[in-house]
Amino acid sequence: MNWSSHLVIAPILLPLISGAVLMFIADRQRVLKAMVSLFATLGLAMVALMLVADQASDDAVNRVYMLGNWLAPFGIVLVLDKLSALMVALTAILAVPVLVFSLARWHSAGSHFHSLFQFFLVGVNGAFLTGDLFNLFVFFEVMLAASYGLLLHGSGALRVKAGLHYIAVNLAAALLFLIGVSLIYGTAGTLNMADLAARIPSIEPDRRMLMEAGAGVLGVAFLIKAGMWPLCFWLPTAYSVAAAPVAAIFAIMSKVGIYIILRLSVLMFAEGPSAEFGTDVLVYGGLATIAFGTIGVLASQALGRIGAYCVLVSSGTLLTTIGLQDAAASSGALYYLVSSTLTLGAFFMLVELVERCQDAGANVLAVTMDAYGDADDDIVEEAEGVTMPSTLAILGTCFAASAILLSGLPPLSGFIAKFAILSAIMGTGSIGVPPTGSALWLAALVILAGLATLIALTRAGIRTFWSSIEGTVPRVLVMEIVPVMILLAVMAGLTIKAGPALAYMEATIRDVGNSKAYIEAVGKAVTVPSWRDTKAKEQGGG
């Protein structure tokens, strides 16, 4: 086994080791902690891009990494394929600008921010890479435990209130996760995903109902994290009161639930008597989520609330598309997942900068600000650094670009993603096949959601940049605006390279749909000879 084979575990080990080291560095040594965290996150980004490059070719094989050198299904395995590599890379690309943004002032607003940030990455990357349901629960809990601390970072009554609600909901989701895993293990006798996929078609009918009940309970836990209506009422408040970099990195958290649902629905329920299990729930629940998010976007005045409801619109679109089980639409949905996640991350960071422009006269129109308050009253002293010249012009340009991306207007990647989904479900990709009723509803709601987002953000932009009575020019540091500009530049690159990006997404969906290749890769993985065995073989050969 060469050194490149160990890259599979690097996205978990790098943040795990750095987070543990950061625990032993005093909080007063802010520069040292920031440098350790930043180098670890940059290293994660480099590894993630190498993993994507490893899986980019059509003939790339799934890499199986056996922890403890025990064969599956008894040992713990990590599995790298095109989808998991894409999600790990998306996490790293979002994490680097978010961490840089936090170095302006937020990392010093509370204790152990960098450790919590790194442990959050451990949980997210582990959930993407694991090939075992129990270890999925372990990484899920690591992610949630770190997110509890991150949500409370910066203190304030509103964050504590939202944090307690968030903790209660996610503890209930964790309990459902355990119940679902227990039911599946009791009926199938294994929790290894590949082994489950091989065993489920042959499970006896009298035990199949219990297994499907366990899968349903497990699905509820994932749908809570994905934010499907009516399980999403915790999300708008939590995301809107969180510190700007926390809300930005939380943009990937809802996608963890989306990823798991896509992975398990295709791997475990693509064939056999349980084929298409739960697809109706995904379709109708996703449509309801889009409608709920659209209403929330229109009803909200505060930018943070608008961003939170845009997360719900994104989740609803992805859930409905997965439920339709159309390969062409699913590839467009993956492109949309990347575009919406990075755009929302940039938008949540931009919200804090833009709201510095608002004066008292403009805030009179934002009636919901009185209801939800200002969570940033207890922020630490203003950070030192180089301010950005032409602040209003740059903020206005970034805000306009974010509005175009979130609403799905041409020519940026948000439009390309929605166009790819709509063209697939409306039948242009398969001549002579009329769209279903669910597909028509999805098309209508996606268009309405884009229109609602455009109206809400245009209204907020006018109030912030044009109707300001005092003409407030905020103090924005270079290290605060540059991360936002980097993410928007990535979106521009994703637009220019839309063809290769969509080709990778199509290959990813084909790879995910080939469950036999996944099962064979895990089943045929071999252990690595120990150094004693290698030495004995060399001596015997000599």
Element (H, E) at 67: strand 63-67
Number of Cβ atoms within 10 Å of the Cβ of 294: 24
Give the span between the Cα atoms of 89 and 92, in whole angstroms.
5
Residue ranges in the chain whose pLDDT is less than 50 = 360-365, 367-381, 384-388, 429-432, 469, 542
The pLDDT of residue 387 is 47
The pLDDT of residue 542 is 47
The pLDDT of residue 275 is 63
Contacts of 140 (CB under 8 A, 6+ apart): 123, 127, 174, 177, 256
The pLDDT of residue 536 is 54
The pLDDT of residue 98 is 93
Q: Which two tokens stand for residue 172?
A: 């209930």
- Nearest to residue 493, comparing CAs of 93, 103, 121, 106? 93
Name the β-bridge partners of 66. Answer: 77
Name the β-bridge partners of 192. Answer: 132
Q: Map tokens 């004066």 to a residue.
A: 359
The pLDDT of residue 396 is 84
CA atoms within 13 A on the CB side of 355: 20
The pLDDT of residue 267 is 81
Instruction: Please give the angle made by the CA atoms of 446, 450 and 456, to the nearest 5 degrees.
Output: 140
Give the span between the Cα atoms of 306 and 40, in whole angstroms.
32
- Rounded to 10°, the helix 30-55/113-129 angle is 10
pLDDT tens for residues 378-403? 444 455 444 445 777 888 888 999 99
- Rounded to 10°, the helix 82-102/113-129 angle is 170
The pLDDT of residue 263 is 87
Name the β-bridge partners of 387. Answer: 477
- Nearest to residue 97, comparing CAs of 311, 307, 249, 306? 249
Mean of per-residue pLDDT scores for the chain: 82
Give the span between the Cα atoms of 191 and 75, in whole angstroms.
11
Phi, psi of 104 (to 5 degrees): -65, -45
Give the span between the Cα atoms of 459 and 452, in whole angstroms.
11
The pLDDT of residue 424 is 86
DSSP alpha helices (H): ranges in 153-204? Answer: 157-188, 193-199
CB-based contact 190:199 (threshold 8 Å) = yes
